[in-house]
Amino acid sequence: MQTAEIHRRWLDFFERRGHTVVPSASLVSDDPSLMFTVAGMVPFVPYLSGLVPAPYPRATSVQKCIRTNDIEEVGKTPRHGTFFQMCGNFSFGDYFKEEAIRFAWELLTTSEDEGGLGFSPDDLWVTVYEDDDEAIELWKQHSTLPEERIQRLGMDTNYWSTGQPGPAGPCSEIFFDRGPEYGVDGGPATDDDRYVEIWNLVFMQYQITDVKSKTDFTIVGELPNKNIDTGMGLERVAFIKQGVDNMYEIDQVRPVLDRAAELAGKTYGADHEDDVRLRVIADHVRSGLMLIADGVTPSNEGRGYILRRLLRRVIRSMRLLGVDGPSFAELFPVSRDAMQAAYPEVARDFDFISRTAYAEERAFLRTLASGSQTLDTAIEAAKAAETTVSGDTAFLLHDTYGFPIELTLEIAEEAGVPVDRDVFASLMQEQRDRAKADAKAKKGQRADLSVYKELRGLGETAFVGYDEFDHESRVLGIVVDGAPVQAAQEGQVAELVLAETSLWAESGGQDADQGVIVGDGFEAEVLDVQKPVPGLIVHTVRVTVGTVALDARAETRVDRDYRRGAAQAHSGTHVVHAALREVLGPNAHQAGSYNKAGYLRLDFTHGDALSSETKSEIEEISNLAIRSDYEVVTREMALDEAKALGAMALFGEKYGDRVRVVDIGGPWSRELCAGTHVASSSEIGMISLISESSVGSTNRRVESLVGIEAFRNFAAERAIVQQLTSGLKVPRTELVTKVQDLGAQLRAAEKKIAALEAEKLSQRAPELLAAAQEIGGVRAVLGSLGTVGSADDLRGLALRLRDRLSAEAGVVVLAGEVPADGGGKPVVIAATTEAARDRGVRAGDLAKLGAQVLGGGGGGKPDLAQGGGADASKIDDALAEIRRSLAG
């Protein structure tokens, strides 16, 4: 049975039993505490916890998930995967244990011909929480399981909670017995790989508090609405139904594995280490495909870093299999073909997905080349000193170059040099500890969302700001320092929840409105407007006059100038996006935006920097659209209808069943957008592109000033031009030529001055040679030359002096002060003859020693090296230390 067919049967089964089919949410989680959607129940947490009223009594989904906390186990076990799909059925105070158990047994054991999954009851085991007698009786009643295949287990395995105060309850897990050839008898209690957990039924029935650990908490009572949250692992059921040994061999994954094996000239099943690498490749390619499809792009932080790590592990694994060149163009199309039956968007958006993945591969292959040079140098030094490649170097390669430790070990082993893994492991652990501490600190800074649960239960906050600047409402809730209060006094910062508001809450790339909230006897300045939970708008205010109390009349007043500027910027973002696509083609998708009054920032998918001509063309098209006075039309409609009209849905954005479509100039710009906009494009005023830059290997960013800010920017530039034309006494049309001529004259003068300074410096060679001394068996020229033109001048003089000493054991060490920002910077140059090196004198050691005294660092080759520092007053001390070293 194909994976997509299991997917379809699951949804059909529960839809026929009154469940609302909910499409998979994005892999990018709405929950600020989660980087990704890590479980099927994540999108339903607000409903299960009661934070937000559920829009349906029962639901079902097949949810895309990503987990990377045990990434090192991928490929080694039959069940660890980074991307997986969780089939779930949920009840929000509707049905409970009996129906959940009955549904599970019915779907699993109904024959395939009748629409079920066709499991034999003889292959199934069940575990329940040890005190849950009710669940045991229900299993006996609704299944044919003998009592010995219903096992009681403890709280550590069969009790669910979030680890924090809130809902909790026992759970019941269903296992498939793979047979005696896979392990020992005895059921899931043996914790053996023979028994594969395929379904977990969570009975969310208690409220807990005083949580000290997973098994240490206080049950304070039953929940008023008992919920059901279940999850069946789609990949696990698929590998059982397809008769293969693990999830990497199912129809959605195995084709990538086979293609990787073909490229590497390997046979899957012939070698354990190669098999693990092939499974890693198959898993991570699929994960990368699905993450990019949901709008994640490679970067050095957050979700982008996780994606980058997955893709680089693929490249590393291919390299360890003997494939050094690019392979993504062979692997990603195979994964697309395997996944598109369940997720058509991977085929629809494959151009974007592939360009993103291929660019990352090219970039990392270049990184590997750079890291290899560093590693080669470290290996050469380790060989010479008969020691190891230091753990510091291995960590530098890993942390700075993204060079996997396995690759470092492989290359070093080929050269016959060990790597100090203990130091590397210690440094890695320090990094993990810092990351955990940072994550814990950030988690502690997040507000406890439970404070909004009761407020959200009063209904959604209605936003009326599309049509009204000022709107009278009433105060439904007040929160101060994370706790609900009856009133907020003058001078306090508080959060206000109103029944309706005309103030825009930050979302969709648009910054929050500015304004005030006033009522009988009070006035409050609006500091921020946010949506901490779906459907609830919270105004952070500073009470400037009087006291604001619960149920008070409150009027929201939007700062009209700010809103006008924000609307100009948001409509301007759409205009620039359309202009980008007109110039660069339809593959230039928006990948993120931010706009506020007078300013817009737009990230878009494109690999190359924009030329000056291209930027000017985009800016001109944008301003021509403004001059054309296009009508801006907003409409609400069903999501499918909007897509049929060609409205652009942006990567990473989440949309409900009803969406708002914004047209500028009809189909010229047609996007899904909930933000505030101008009525016609001419109201935008003006767009002035001020920068274009890279934000990743596949993304670019343009920034622009909008409206009056754009005019002010042009006015400022005009003033600069006027000052230059006046000062240089040339007309504006000749200004560029004049500045270029002056620049050329300046460079010629600087070159001439540098030549004179170098010549002047070289004239000191005779006196330096005359002052040479015998120190420690070598003839040493040590000199402090004061201020010099450049380090290159100093190096040139050192080389000339060394040439004069080439017939003997000679050492030259020169120090001086070169020009630098904020003053002079000390530099030390060391050079040695071959005879001096034979006596063990190395320039790199001398430069490093001198640089340490100067408060810096240095080094280089044995024959020539350079060092620098921060304190030029210690040049004489540095030369004295080098003298002592030579004497010793």
- As a whole number of angstroms, the distance between CA 598 and CA 710 comes to 7
Q: What is the pLDDT of residue 435?
A: 61
3-state secondary structure of 340: coil
Out of 207-221, 230-244, 290-304, give the one with best mean pLDDT. 230-244
Q: What is the pLDDT of residue 385?
A: 78
- As a whole number of angstroms, the distance between CA 52 and CA 40 comes to 18
- Looking up tokens 């067919």, which residue turns up? 5
CATH topology of domain 3-244: BirA Bifunctional Protein; domain 2 (3.30.930)
- As a whole number of angstroms, the distance between CA 777 and CA 826 comes to 28
CATH number of this structure's domain 453-558, picked from the four choices 3.40.190.10, 1.10.10.10, 2.40.30.130, 3.10.105.10:
2.40.30.130
Contact status, residue 10 vs residue 62, Cβ threshold 8 Å: yes
CATH topology of domain 768-887: Diaminopimelate Epimerase; Chain A, domain 1 (3.10.310)
Q: What DSSP designation does 603 have?
A: E
3-state secondary structure of 869: coil
pLDDT over threshold 90, residue 288:
yes
The residue-averaged pLDDT of 723-727 equals: 93
Amino acid letter at 755?
A: A
Q: What is the pLDDT of residue 445?
A: 39
- The lowest-confidence range among 101-105, 139-143, 392-396, 832-836 is 392-396
| Residue-wise pLDDT tens digits, 388-413 | 888 888 888 877 666 767 778 877 87
Higher pLDDT, 381 or 476: 476
What would the two tokens of residue 279 be?
């499974």
What would the two tokens of residue 87 be?
């089939």
pLDDT over threshold 90, residue 225:
no
Bridge partners of 849, per DSSP, are none
- As a whole number of angstroms, the distance between CA 177 and CA 123 comes to 5
- As a whole number of angstroms, the distance between CA 287 and CA 281 comes to 10
CA 538 to chain centre: 27
Helix ranges (H only) for 16-65 are: 45-48
| Residue-wise pLDDT tens digits, 804-850 | 898 899 999 999 998 876 668 899 999 999 999 999 999 999 999 99
- As a whole number of angstroms, the distance between CA 105 and CA 124 comes to 10
- As a whole number of angstroms, the distance between CA 706 and CA 639 comes to 30
Its CATH architecture, for the domain 563-715, is: 2-Layer Sandwich (3.30)
Q: Is 142 flagged in the annotation as binding? A: no
| Residue-wise pLDDT tens digits, 472-519 | 999 999 999 888 899 999 999 999 999 999 999 999 899 999 999 999
Contact status, residue 552 vs residue 519, Cβ threshold 8 Å: yes
What would the two tokens of residue 841 be?
């004198």
* Domain spans, the chain: 3-244, 254-443, 453-558, 563-715, 730-763, 768-887
Q: What is the pLDDT of residue 402?
A: 67
First to last CA, the chain: 79
Q: What is the pLDDT of residue 427?
A: 83
Q: Is 66 exposed, middle or buried (0-12, 13-18, 19+ CB in 10 A)?
A: buried
Higher pLDDT, 671 or 608: 671
Residue 771 CB neighbour total at 10 angstroms = 11
Average pLDDT, the chain: 90
Q: What is the pLDDT of residue 214?
A: 81
Q: Is 80 flagged in the annotation as binding? A: no
pLDDT over threshold 50, residue 444:
no
Contact status, residue 705 vs residue 685, Cβ threshold 8 Å: no
